[in-house]
Amino acid sequence: MITFNDKFHLESDVRCSDKSLTHRALIAASIADGVSVLHNVTLSSDVLCTLTALKNTVARVRLEKTATNGNTVIVTPRMRNLPQKLTIDCGNSGTTARLLAGLFCGLGVKARFCGDESLSKRPMTRVVEPLRAMGADIAFAPDCLFETRGGKLHGATVESQVHSAQVKSAVILAGLFAEGQTRYVERRPTRNHTELLLGELGADVRVDGNTVVVQKSRPKAFEFAIPNDPSAVAYSVALALLTGQRAHFCNVLLNERRLGFYRVLQNSGATISYCNLHTVLGERVGDIIVEPSVLHPFFASEQDACDGIDEIPLLATMALFVGGTHVFCGVGELANKESNRLEAIARIANVCNKQCSFDGKNLTVISDGAVPKGKFFTSLDDHRIAMCETVLSVATGCGCVDSTPFEVSDPEFLKGLGIVPLKLGLVGTKVEDSLSPALHAHLAKQSGVCCIYKTVCLPKQTSDKVLLKEIEQFDGVNVTMPFKKRVASIFKSSLPSVNTVFNGGKNVTSTDGYGVVQSLRFHGIAFEGQPLWIVGAGGAAEAVICELLKYDCKLRVLNRTSTHAMSLQKKYSLPQTLQDPVGVLSFVPECDFEQSLTLPPSCKFVLIADYNGASGLRRQAEQRGLTVANGKEMLFHQGAKSFALWTGTPVQTDYNAFVKDMEDIK
């Protein structure tokens, strides 16, 4: 989870090569007649899927990093004796799957194409059927997207059934290896990078009106500095307009089929202009200048939407800030992206108390222009939606996004917005359902700190070296079971256990005891100098013993393994028996031992540290009407202490406000 504030600085010259063009340039280089060199290659997850697939099949690929040209990739084709029966991992990249389907059918490569859960739900018939029409043996099979099985290709006329540049590109790439002429007829113009690039490189690919005509041929080797991605720059442009800033973005791809987002904004009052225009391998490139503007309601025609389909969610997000009715035509394709982005847009609008509807073809957003701050958003691991929610959060000055898969398309996304969040995290074995990310999002929102909080799940047998490496990636980190005592040893701490590492690993402490004390005080429990039972003998229990002894509490330890209890009693000179405790503090999950314990008649309260599971002691206390301090309260207070240590920011510890935020998240 990441929490944003209003501190940002838009960068004018961040390297983020155009993703669509990068995929296509890598593929063209892999079948060229010599060695090709590509500069300014952004290594997003999607691009890496294509690069890896090519490296494992048709080309030798070498990566170099330079200060002037960013990531440079040198591609050497190897068109003979191609490997067969491969599994191609397309990850989340529909571009990888569909374009390489065309390439592999053309080359006769037999391969299984697989993808992640999201990609596996996206439609592939749209690319399989046109390739079959060209003679390709391509089929659906269990547990994969599809299989390419060879087949001799012949030219064919393919008429587009959907507005898809990916399908068009697959047909064009297959057509380079087919006997005879291949024609792809479009009903509406889509991105034309593939035909432009291949035509400029000498392949027999030309455009005749609304038809791309392909003959069997091969592109020439080339050197190409890939311009920056207008889709990536769009988020910075949006933030500039929403916050009234002037901004200048350099060396951006300005292909007309990619400017739907910009046209809609210009037609709605945005002052956006282009300068330093020039052409590289058939593509128009230049700078984008944005001036402070007064925006009016948005209208996107079907062509605008086709030319900026990935940016429609961003336009819809911006529409929340602009009073009026906004209409986006012909956007049904958004339901077939990494998530159902139509539903995602509606969810964002609903969180912001705005109206949003989709009639099966057109999307309508109605807003009064007043957007609330401090909201929690769910991205469903869709990078475009996470980026939209980031813009919204920063523009309002505060907001939280649950997951941030920016690396899928733009690893430099936050850098481009001039945002450098603190990296905070939680390390343990069972942290998937932890409340800590939500807690620290709440604390960050309350204190105005921009931070990322991530969970890292490690097996119990993880080595000290690996454990330390994971901890050192964070500016501040929480440690939970079973690593608390090990981390204390790794950092040579005098504390028996550690749950908080701060100052870049220079300092460690435990806030468990602090969390317990504050939780008891939250309930008005007078615990100082009182007899108490401690159930459990782990790191948290021992940390609490150390803390309570500072308040002259009289303590007895009970544990399923009696030798562990005796060890703590001896270490801290605690009595083996202690009658009539006023409170019982449990640090164990429900088990036979915990259920076997009976609360003594003297008990006035219990504290149950496990906030997720059932508890026999809790049930006993509730039946008797005793005060119950729960683990969420303890977590809240110990987390607030950790957060203050990490950030140097005083934290307002309002547990009830945290509970309300938790309701908003749900």
Residues with active-site annotation = 310
Structural tokens at position 3: 């929490």
Structural tokens at position 271: 């002052």
What is the spatial distance between Cα 254 and Cα 283, in angstroms, rounded to a whole number? 7
Give kind and range of the element (H or E) at residue 52: helix 45-55
For residues 73 and 61, the answer to whether their CB atoms sit within 8 Å is: yes
For residues 426 and 439, the answer to whether their CB atoms sit within 8 Å is: no
Going by the DSSP 8-state scheme, the letter that residue 511 receives in this structure is -
Helix pair 230-242, 383-396: axis angle to 10 deg = 20
Going by the DSSP 8-state scheme, the letter that residue 179 receives in this structure is B
Got the DSSP string for 408-470?
GT-TTHHHHTT---EEEEEEESS-TT-SHHHHHHHHHHHHT--EEEEEEE--TT--HHHHHHH
**Parallel, antiparallel, or unpaired for β 138-139 and 422-428?**
unpaired
Going by the DSSP 8-state scheme, the letter that residue 204 receives in this structure is S
377-396 in b/e form (b: 16+ CB < 10 A) is bbbbbbbbbbbbbbbbbbbb
Vertex 662, ends 659 and 666: CA angle to 5°?
A: 145
Got the DSSP string for 95-141?
HHHHHHHHHHHHHT--EEEE--HHHHTS--HHHHHHHHHTT--EE--
286 by DSSP, 3-state: which? strand
One-letter amino acid for residue 194 of the chain? T
For residues 363 and 356, the answer to whether their CB atoms sit within 8 Å is: yes
For residues 107 and 32, the answer to whether their CB atoms sit within 8 Å is: no
Q: Which residue has the tokens 């529409």?
A: 319
One-letter amino acid for residue 245 of the chain? Q
One-letter amino acid for residue 426 of the chain? L
In 3D space, the residue among 390, 248, 378, 249 whose CA is nearest the CA of residue 318 turns out to be 390
Q: Which residue has the tokens 């119950």?
A: 628
**Parallel, antiparallel, or unpaired for β 59-66 and 2-5?**
unpaired
E strands along 155-246, which residues?
157-159, 182-185, 205-208, 211-214, 223-225
Structural tokens at position 486: 């090990």
**Parallel, antiparallel, or unpaired for β 583-586 and 605-608?**
parallel
492 by DSSP, 3-state: which? coil
Q: Which residue has the tokens 């049904």?
A: 332
Q: Which residue has the tokens 């009970």?
A: 558
What is the spatial distance between Cα 410 and Cα 24, in angstroms, rounded to a whole number? 17
In 3D space, the residue among 594, 620, 596, 592 whose CA is nearest the CA of residue 606 turns out to be 620
In 3D space, the residue among 372, 392, 260, 381 whose CA is nearest the CA of residue 317 turns out to be 392
What is the spatial distance between Cα 283 and Cα 250, in angstroms, rounded to a whole number? 15
Q: Which residue has the tokens 């949003």?
A: 356
